[in-house]
Structures are given as C-alpha cells and as structure tokens.
Structure 1
Amino acid sequence: MSLQVRLSLLPSVRCLYDEPVQVKVAGLRSQQLVTMRGRLTDDKGVMFSSSATYMADRSGKIELDRDPSLGGSYVGVEPMGLFWSMKPDTLHTKLTKTNLLNPQTVTLSVHDKDDDRMLAEVTNERFLIGDGVKRVPIKEGNIRGVLFMPPGGGPFPAVLDLSSSRSENRACLLANKGFVVLSITLYQNNFAKVKEMHLDYFEEAIDFLKHSKVGSKRIGVISRSIGGAIALSIAAFVPGVEAVVCINGCNANVAFPLYYKKHLILSPLSFEFKMLFPTESGAVIATHVLDNPLAEENNDTLIPIEQAKGHFLFVASEDDLTWDSKAYIDQMVERLKRHAKDNFESVSYPGAGHLLQPPYEPHCRSCASYITTKPVMWGGEARAHAAAEVHLWKKIQEFFRTHLSCETAQ
C-alpha cells in the first residue's frame, strides 16, 4: 500500500445508510490510471463487489462526483457508482441486511491499473438506525411488528410500513427522518398457507399508531407490490388514512380474498403461472402473470380508490419484469380522474425495476420470491434504477411531510 496515496470519504467514513459520501483520491501521479473497487459482505455472508477505471487529473487527484469512470461496473460520472453497481458472487441474490444495530461496512480501495497493487483503502460504516431512534418490538392485541420512534417527545407524523417479508430497513430509515413508523408484515403465516386477508388487522395497527406520539389522527401507509394493493384497499375502506405511497402496486386485489368486518369486500385477481417466461439464467419473467384487472369478469377485484379520503402517491417502474406496474398506475389515475378526483400524484421511472428500495444498495435484478419456486427477474438497468431510488426516497419524505404535517413536530 502506498504511503503517498490517500483515499478519503467526506464528510465522514461513518454515515446513515441512505446518505451519499464524497469519494476522493489524492497523491497519484499525473493522469495515472487506477482501478477503484468496492466490496461488502451481507448478513448472510454473501460477497458483493464492483470496480471502475479512473484517470487522475494533472495534480494526481480523482473525485468521483467530478471525474468519469472509463470502464468497469459502470461508466461516466457516478458519485456513488461503486456502491449501487456491486454484484453478488452468488447468482439470484439480493443483499440481506437484518441486523439494524451493526453498520453495513463497505470497503473501497484504489489499485494500480498495471500491476493491481493496492495503493489505498478505506472502510465506510453505513448505519441504519440513527442516534436516539428507538426500536420497540410490538405484541399488542393481534399486532406483531416493530415500532420505530425518533428522538424527542413528539408529536410526530406516523406511517404504517407494510412488507411482504420481515424487513425493517425502510421503516427505520424513515424514523431517522422524524416519522413514527410501525413495520408489520403482510402475512402472519407462510405465504403458501395464507387463504384470505383481513383489513381489520391493518385497522388495528392504524389505531395503535394513533396513540404513539403522533401529531394527527391521520396516518400514512407505504408498501410495494402486493402490499401496494393492500395499502390502496386500506385507504379505500379504513378511516383515518391520509397519505398512501403505492410502489409498483396493482389496481386490483391480488392473490387472496379480502375481508373487512367479516364481509368479503374484494375477490382476488388470479396468478396465471403458465405465463411465467423462463430465462437462460434460471430465473423467470412474470410481467404477464396476472389476469387483466379491467376484464369484465374481474370487476369485483378492482379497488374502489375513489372512496379514499386521503392522498395517493403512485409509483411505477417502467422496466418492472414482475408485472405491468406502469399500466396499473395509469389505470388508477384514469379511474380517479373519471370520478373527478385530484387527490393523487404519480411518478414513473424509465429503466427502473420492481424492487425500488431506499438508495445506494446494490441493485438486484433477480432473486428468490415467495410467489414461485423459481427465482424472479425484477428488472431494471442498474444506473437508471439507482437514480430512481435517490429521487423516490426524497419524494416519499416530501409527500408524507406535506400530508401528515404536525404543527408542533420537532
């Protein structure tokens, strides 16, 4: 390792999980070619890595927010490219980060282009849970989840975060931004054992949130995919929901009959597994796996979102290979306009795939899914997908702050 070459991260080697860092190199020869590498190991022991070629300027410096990558995992000026372009050493793998208390460590290094000698190295510690944020497991009534509370006495805007499998990352990161967030999973049991869904469970969670240092009796809901459809149904049928973020959701109830107060309110739109398209990698493309929600025989599956009193943020990825998210969002917008409603915003992202996450995680194109025994292609071109995640994460926070504002929030 060279004593002259310096690799630095600004403003600090420690940051929150969703924050960018400035990557700078100094002490190189004028116009020296180097390879920069990123690597991490997730909570399941899977290694992710990336690399890019850079040329130093005349003063021997490289700044990733100024200088373009000349080749490797990405090209062009990408300040966080070494992070989002990392790929796993195991096929069909998504990064797993389940331990919120330990940071995700990302090691960055600079190597001589000619002999691959390491010239400098630095470790970035990326924390999910911010200073003063409390994580409280909840077992109250039927609710099984985790509550995240920002530091201070509140009151705070409150959000119900629904996930298909146990994942607290998004909820925790929202709590860092000043929201009380209750994270619960959609399915109490294994997906294959679920026979029906009940909105009463989510209503109980919303009622719980109303008494958790919040500044309003109006609650936000966020979810993706099948959970997005559940979030829409909550807004349509359950009182007290003011803001819903539906990410790559469907405009119809999906997979299971939906009940509320012991009455069937929506039949399920069925999966047509014969429409799964195999790829050479072994993963399947599921874009057309759902029946057409606008077909006459599926009228009883459509979610009556025009009944909702609150506001919607519809989000669609245009390279979603799981189902036709853009078409579903367009149909929802058309439905609301037909009912003379203007309580919505919509945003779509060309080149983005189904799994829109908080920013700077390695992009996942395919991994296992609870829907089918085969791994699923989620879609997305890494660079466009990463840019979409940065934009959407800010958009989500602005949307919730606008519609869940607390006059006395800290």
Structure 2
Amino acid sequence: MTSQVRLMLLPSARCLFDEPVHVKVAGLRSRQVVTMRARSTDERGVTFRSSASYRADGSGEIDLQRDPSLSGSYVGVEPMGLLWSMRADTLHKYFYKNKALDPHVVKISVHEEEEEEEEEEGRMLVEVINERFLLGCGVSRLPIKEGNIRGVLFTPPGEGPFPAVLDLCTFMSEKRACLLANRGFVVLAVAVISDKSANVKEMHLDYFEEAVNFLQQQPKVGSKGVGIISRSKGGDVALSLAAFVPAVKAVVWINGCSANVAIPLYYRKRHILSPLLFDTSKVIPTESGAVIGKYVVNDPLAEENKGSLIPIEKAEGRLLFVASEDDLNWDSKAYMEMMVERLKHHGKDNFETVCYPGAGHLLEPPYGPYCPSALHGLLSFPMLWGGEPRSHAAAEVHLWKKIQEFLRTHLSCDATQTKARL
C-alpha cells in the first residue's frame, strides 16, 4: 500500500448502520484515475462487492459527495454508492444482516487503475474499514420469552418516557427494530412467520395483541398506544391489528396487501378473515431464473374473496401507506389505492400515502446492499423484487426519516428525543 494516499471516512470510520459517511481520498497524482472498491461478508458467509472508477481533481483529491463515478457498479455522484451497489458474485443473494450485536463491516479500498486486465484488481493504494453498528450506545437488547411472545426487545438509554413500536418482521430480523431504538423508540421485534411455521394452517391475532399489551407494560414506555411497522405479509397483520385492537394508534404499512394473504386469521377463538389465495401458475419467468410474482395473488375485490378484505375503516389510529411503484413481488400500489378508496368511502381521513417510483419490494433501512432478487421465504424459487438500484436506495433514505417522523407524531409521548450515539 502507498502510505501517502489517504482514504478518509468522515466524521468517523465507526458509525451507525443508517448513517452516511463522507468518503474522501487525498494524496493521489493530479487527475489520476483510480478504482474504489467496497467488500463485505454477510451472516451466511456470502461476500458482496462493488467498484467504481473516479478521477482525482488537480490537487489529487476525490470527494464522493462532489465527484461522479465514471464507471463500475454505478455512475454519477452517489456519496454512498459503494455501499448500496454491493452485489454477491452469484445471483439471487439477499444480504443477511439481521443480528443486532455484530456490526456491518465494510472494507473500502483504493486501487490503481488496471487498464489491461479489467477483471483483476489493481495494486491497492490504501484501505479503511467502515464499522457500521446496528446497536447504538446504551441501547439494551433483551430476548423475550414471555407467555406466547417470542421476540427481541430494544430499549433506548435514559429514563424516557419513549413511544412504543411493534416491529412485525415477516421473518425474524433485529435490524429495523434496533435501529429504531437508537432513535428513541422502545421496539419489540417479532416474526410473523417463524422458521417452524412455514406451513402454518392458521394465524391468531391474539398472539400479536399479546405483544402489543406487553409493550404497553414496559416501564420506559410513555405512549398511550402502540405503533406498528410492517412490510409484505406483515402489512396485512398490522392492518388487522389496527382494525381490531384499539391500543394500536399508528401503523406503517410498506408494500403489503389490502387483504389477509394466504393464511386464515382468527381472533378470540373466532374466524375473522378468510385467506386471499394465489395461483403460482401466474408467475412470470425471467432469463435470470427469478420470477415475477406481481400478479400471482388473486383479486381481493372479487366477490369470492371479499371475506379476506381487512375492515380498515374500523381503525381509529393513523395509517401510513408506503408503496413502491416497481414492486414485482405483488401489486402494492394497487392495494394501497384500494384501501384509500375504501377509507374515503367510509368518510375516513386518518391516512397518508407515499409512493416511490423506481423502488422495489424490499424497502429497508438505508445504506445496505440493494437486492434485485433472492430466494422467496415461502416459495421454492427466487423472486425478482423490482426496483432500479439508485432510485431504490434514495427511497430508503427518504422513507427511513418519514417513518420516524410519522411514529413520533402519532404516538403521544413526552419523551425528549436524544440523538443516537455509538
């Protein structure tokens, strides 16, 4: 490595997962072209990489907030492009970073441009490790096994009181919950579908109501009600809770359905919603081997499916509907429009909507690798999730701020919010 070349991550090479870093290079030759690379390995041992070529200015400096990538995994000015553009060497891989205790470690390096052998990495000039922590300073992580509840509770430092949020993960992940806790929320993450219940025959709303009640009993919780954040299958469970459980005061619904999907729903020993089924013969194959599932789910407005429609007009809390216009997993925007029409028909105005053109199904906290396709959690084939990488990454940054503002606004609490710290 060349000692005079300096790679700086500002304000620090250690940060929270959802914080941007300012990447700068100094000590290069005037107008020198170099390749910048990023590399990270996920919890399953899969390595993800990105690369981009940059030209230094007359002073031998590169500033990713100012300078465009000339070629590589992305082009143009993208300050965090090295992170969101990382891809695995093989197709259909999702970046698994679901455990809160270990940081997301990214190795960022600068290499001499190799013109003759483009596949080979040029000589490394400098490398810096970016440690991106999920769990902020003072945030407690507590696995929960109480009653029927199986989840993980994250609590911010300080006396509170804090607003309470239930994170309905379709499959268990601690990432979103602990990142919200860093921002001043008490968050309980629970899985809608556990590994042992992939073939579950029925679902009971009582289980999730128990989680809501558990949150309200936490000593640092000051909100009178509970918020819910959800995506995909978790979305219809969240809406059902909003409709049937008065303690639910705010719901973030991300790329879900307007009906109860796939599994019959029961509440207090009574069948309340029929399952909206799907027809896998309607999947659209693609050359990559992944399929488009957007039109697989049956029409929830068809007469025979009306028993699956969630009576969201019963919800007294606030609803934030988030739809990606390029969601290829299912037709989220159409479902959102159905719900808006239904609420307006019932004279309700307790909702707001956000649409993201160019974004795909997997909207997550920002700065993780964009995932174009991966093996579906319940099906035996890879799914194309949709989205154009740059637009999708921008949507995640915008949405993450929007979610926090929405939950803070609609969960009444006297908490003094403190800035998350490492």
TM-score (norm 2): 0.95
| Percent pairwise identity | 68
Alpha-carbon deviations, 1:209-267, whole Å to 9, x = none? Answer: 00112112210011100110110010001111110000001001100111111111111
Residue type of the alignment partner of 1:209: L
SS in 2 for 1:218: strand
Q: Which residue of 1 aligns with 2:393?
A: 386
Whole-Å separation in 1 of the counterparts to 2:296 and 2:202: 20
Whole-Å separation in 2 of the counterparts to 1:309 and 1:143: 25
Whole-Å separation in 1 of the counterparts to 2:328 and 2:320: 21
Alpha-carbon deviations, 1:55-114, whole Å to 9, x = none? Answer: 111111100001111111001100000000000123211111244222111011111114
Q: Which residue of 2 aligns with 1:102?
A: 102
Q: Which residue of 1 aligns with 2:148?
A: 142
Q: Which residue of 1 aligns with 2:74?
A: 74
Cα gap change, 1:191 to 1:290, in 2 (>3 Å): farther
Does residue 327 of the first structure (1) align with residue 334 of the second (2)?
yes
* Cα offset, 1:32, TM superposition: 1.0
- Say how many residue pairs are matched: 410
Whole-Å separation in 1 of the counterparts to 2:331 and 2:68: 34
Residue in structure 1 matching 2:237, options 220, 230, 240: 230
Q: Which residue of 1 aligns with 2:223?
A: 216
Q: Which residue of 1 aligns with 2:52?
A: 52
Whole-Å separation in 2 of the counterparts to 1:100 and 1:207: 24
Whole-Å separation in 2 of the counterparts to 1:362 and 1:188: 24
Q: Which residue of 2 aligns with 1:39?
A: 39
Residue in structure 1 matching 2:158, options 152, 156, 159: 152
Whole-Å separation in 1 of the counterparts to 2:233 and 2:376: 12
SS in 1 for 2:162: coil
Q: Which residue of 2 aligns with 1:284?
A: 291
Residue in structure 1 matching 2:272, options 265, 268, 276: 265
**Are the counterparts in 1 of residues 249 and 316 from structure 2 also a CA contact under 8 Å?**
yes
Q: Which residue of 1 aligns with 2:62?
A: 62
Larger displacement relative to structure 2 (170-179 or 26-35)? 26-35
Residue in structure 2 matching 1:349, options 350, 353, 356: 356
* Cα offset, 1:297, TM superposition: 1.6
SS in 2 for 1:174: helix
* Cα offset, 1:118, TM superposition: 1.3
Residue type of the alignment partner of 2:176: R
Whole-Å separation in 1 of the counterparts to 2:252 and 2:291: 27
Structure 2: unaligned runs, 5 residues or longer = 116-121, 418-422
* Cα offset, 1:191, TM superposition: 4.2
Residue type of the alignment partner of 1:298: N
Whole-Å separation in 1 of the counterparts to 2:114 and 2:151: 52
Q: Which residue of 2 aligns with 1:297?
A: 304
Residue in structure 1 matching 2:126, options 120, 130, 139: 120
Q: Which residue of 1 aligns with 2:372?
A: 365
SS in 2 for 1:361: coil
Whole-Å separation in 2 of the counterparts to 1:330 and 1:54: 43
* Cα offset, 1:127, TM superposition: 0.3
* Cα offset, 1:2, TM superposition: 1.3
* Cα offset, 1:188, TM superposition: 4.4
SS in 2 for 1:40: strand
Residue type of the alignment partner of 1:82: L
**Are the counterparts in 1 of residues 265 and 273 from structure 2 also a CA contact under 8 Å?**
yes
**Are the counterparts in 2 of residues 191 and 370 from structure 1 also a CA contact under 8 Å?**
no
SS in 2 for 1:333: helix
Cα gap change, 1:408 to 1:3, in 2 (>3 Å): closer
Does residue 3 of the first structure (1) align with residue 3 of the second (2)?
yes
Whole-Å separation in 2 of the counterparts to 1:402 and 1:153: 20
Alpha-carbon deviations, 1:341-384, whole Å to 9, x = none? Answer: 11111001111110111001100111111321011111111111
Residue in structure 2 matching 1:255, options 253, 256, 262: 262
Q: Which residue of 2 aligns with 1:407?
A: 414
Q: Which residue of 2 aligns with 1:131?
A: 137
Residue type of the alignment partner of 2:380: T
**Are the counterparts in 1 of residues 99 and 175 from structure 2 also a CA contact under 8 Å?**
no
Larger displacement relative to structure 2 (185-194 or 152-161)? 185-194
Q: Which residue of 1 aligns with 2:15?
A: 15
Structure 1 runs (4+) greater than 4 angstroms displaced: none
SS in 2 for 1:90: coil
